[in-house]
């Protein structure tokens, strides 16, 4: 019997080739008769590179190609070249996209690596959400230096909801309450310009919000927390801290979280220009 040599599968893609390699491994692991080598060829985005892959495959007596190429012209050329050289080839992406196109009546974007980009976007969002939870309400001042944005303001100025909303925009946000009895950590005053954003609010509106908050908690609305004297003292203190930092300020009075977040994003973009 003539030995064909060790079998080789070429995992070819116009992106990183991870899917093609996983499919090849999933199939190869079903066979215990011998080892199957898998060689990954990523970023095959031009005809010249496709020809190079075929030339490499021609040197072997026992090989096959599995491809996940999105670009139609490259995919078609690779399949034709493989067939012309009697190299077994499986095109995974083409038939799958044809089926999806039929059932959705939509045209594919034909953008290599889109799954990877979507995955990266998802994990960045999760990381930002975890960051917002970890560094909420000044729990750990070490988070200030790691944050893309730091929100400061008195209690009930929507710092936490804004942090979570911005986290879904993939921004790492820390927030810090400003309380007269507690000096802000030194890290706050060492942050680069544009990192800190102050949140202010009309005292009458804050008075009503705090009274409703106490009622919701089953507490007396006469507590110092909701007294106008206390509110004015806190706002004056917070205003002094914000002036010392020199940070931009946003009045959150009667504004939805989405509206304030849009303003924060505008300030960030302006700072990056």
Domain span at 202: 115-272
Identify the pLDDT of residue 221: 74
**Two structure tokens written together for 211:** 């009274």
- If asked whether residues 255 and 122 sit together in one domain, one would say yes
| Residue-wise pLDDT tens digits, 171-193 | 999 999 999 999 999 999 999 98
92 lies in the same domain as 178 = no
Q: What digits encode the pLDDT tens for the residues 63-97?
A: 999 999 999 999 999 999 999 999 999 999 889 88
Segment 116-168, tens digit of pLDDT: 776 677 788 889 999 999 999 998 999 999 999 999 999 999 999 999 999 99
Q: Is 158 annotated as a binding residue?
A: yes
Tell me, yes or no, whether 125 and 90 share the same domain.
Answer: no
**Residue 33 is assigned to a ligand binding site:** no
- Specify whether 84 is located in the same domain as 186: no
Residue 245 lies in a domain: yes
Question: What was the pLDDT predicted at 122?
Answer: 79
Residues 48 and 120 in one domain: no
pLDDT of residue 4: 60
User: Is 156 annotated as ligand-binding?
Assistant: yes
β-strand 196-200 against 8-13: which pairing, if any? unpaired
**Which pLDDT tens digit goes with each residue over 160-175?**
999 999 999 999 999 9
Tokens standing for residue 108: 């594919």
Is residue 3 situated within a structural domain? no
Which of 112, 139, 166 terminates a domain? The answer is: 112
Residue 2 lies in a domain: no
CA count, 13 A, side-chain hemisphere, 269: 6
Query: Is 209 a domain residue?
Result: yes
Where among 112, 139, 168 does a domain terminate? 112
- Residues 176 and 235 both lie in one domain: yes
DSSP code for 145:
G
Q: What percent of the chain has a predicted confidence (pLDDT) above 90? A: 69
Higher pLDDT, 186 or 32: 186
**What is the rounded end-to-end Cα distance, in angstroms, of the chain?**
70
What is the rounded CA–CA span in Å between residue 85 and residue 87?
A: 5
* Other beta carbons within 10 Å of 139: 13
What is the band of 1 on the pLDDT scale with cuts at 50, 70, 90? very low
Per the DSSP assignment, residues forming a β-bridge with 152 are 176, 198
Give the span between the Cα atoms of 29 and 35, in whole angstroms.
Answer: 9
Question: What tokens does 200 get?
Answer: 């202010």
Q: Is residue 223 part of a domain?
A: yes
Q: In the predicted model, what is the mean pLDDT of the chain?
A: 91
Q: Which of 112, 137, 159 delimits the end of a domain?
A: 112
pLDDT for the residue 108: 82
If asked whether residues 188 and 199 sit together in one domain, one would say yes
Domain with residue 211: its CATH number is 3.40.50
Whether residues 133 and 13 fall in one domain: no
- Please compute the mean of the pLDDT values over residues 251-271 and round it to a whole number: 93
133 is in an annotated binding site: no
The DSSP symbol for 182 reads B
Q: List the beta bridge partners of residue 250.
A: 199
Q: Please indicate, yes or no, if residue 195 is contained in any of the structural domains.
A: yes
Residue 2 has pLDDT above 50, yes or no: no
* 208-229 average pLDDT score: 88
For residue 244, being part of any structural domain is answered with: yes
Indicate whether 37 and 79 sit together in one domain: yes
Task: Say which residue, 111 or 135, is predicted with more confidence.
Answer: 135
- Do residues 168 and 267 share a domain? yes
173-177/149-153 β-pairing: parallel
d(CA 20, CA 99): 19
Backbone angles phi, psi at 60, to 5 degrees: -105, 150
Could you give the number of structural domains in the chain?
Answer: 2
Percent pLDDT > 70 in the chain is 95
Asked whether residue 267 falls in the same domain as residue 140, the answer is yes
Instruction: Look at residue 20 and tell me if it is in a domain.
Output: yes
Task: Say if residue 23 is in the same domain as residue 158.
Answer: no
100 known ligand binder: no
Per this entry, what is the length of the chain?
Answer: 273
């Amino acid at each position: 019997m003539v030995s064909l040599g060790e079998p080789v599968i070429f995992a070819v893609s116009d992106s990183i080739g991870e899917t093609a390699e996983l499919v090849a491994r999933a199939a190869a692991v079903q066979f215990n008769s011998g080892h199957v080598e898998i060689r990954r060829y990523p970023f095959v985005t031009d005809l010249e590179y496709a020809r190079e892959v075929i030339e490499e495959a021609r040197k072997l007596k026992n090989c096959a190609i599995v491809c996940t190429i999105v670009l139609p012209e490259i995919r078609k050329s690779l399949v034709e070249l493989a067939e012309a050289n009697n190299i077994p080839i499986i095109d995974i992406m083409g038939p799958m996209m044809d089926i999806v196109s039929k059932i959705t009546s939509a045209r594919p974007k034909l953008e290599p690596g889109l799954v990877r980009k979507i995955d990266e976007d998802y994990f960045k969002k999760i990381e930002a959400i975890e960051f917002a939870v970890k560094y909420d309400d000044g729990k750990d001042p070490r988070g200030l230096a790691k944050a893309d944005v730091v929100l400061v303001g008195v209690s009930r100025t929507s710092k936490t909801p804004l942090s979570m909303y911005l986290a879904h925009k993939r921004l790492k946000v820390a927030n810090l309450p400003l309380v007269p009895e507690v000096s802000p950590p030194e890290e706050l005053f060492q942050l680069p310009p544009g990192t800190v954003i102050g949140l202010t609010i009309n005292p009458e509106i804050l008075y009503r919000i705090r009274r409703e908050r106490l009622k919701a908690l089953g507490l007396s609305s006469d507590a110092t927390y909701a007294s106008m004297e206390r509110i004015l003292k806190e706002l004056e203190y917070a205003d002094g801290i914000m002036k010392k930092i020199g940070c931009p300020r946003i009045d959150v009075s009667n504004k939805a979280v989405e509206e304030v977040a849009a303003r924060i994003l505008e300030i960030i973009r302006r700072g990056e220009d």
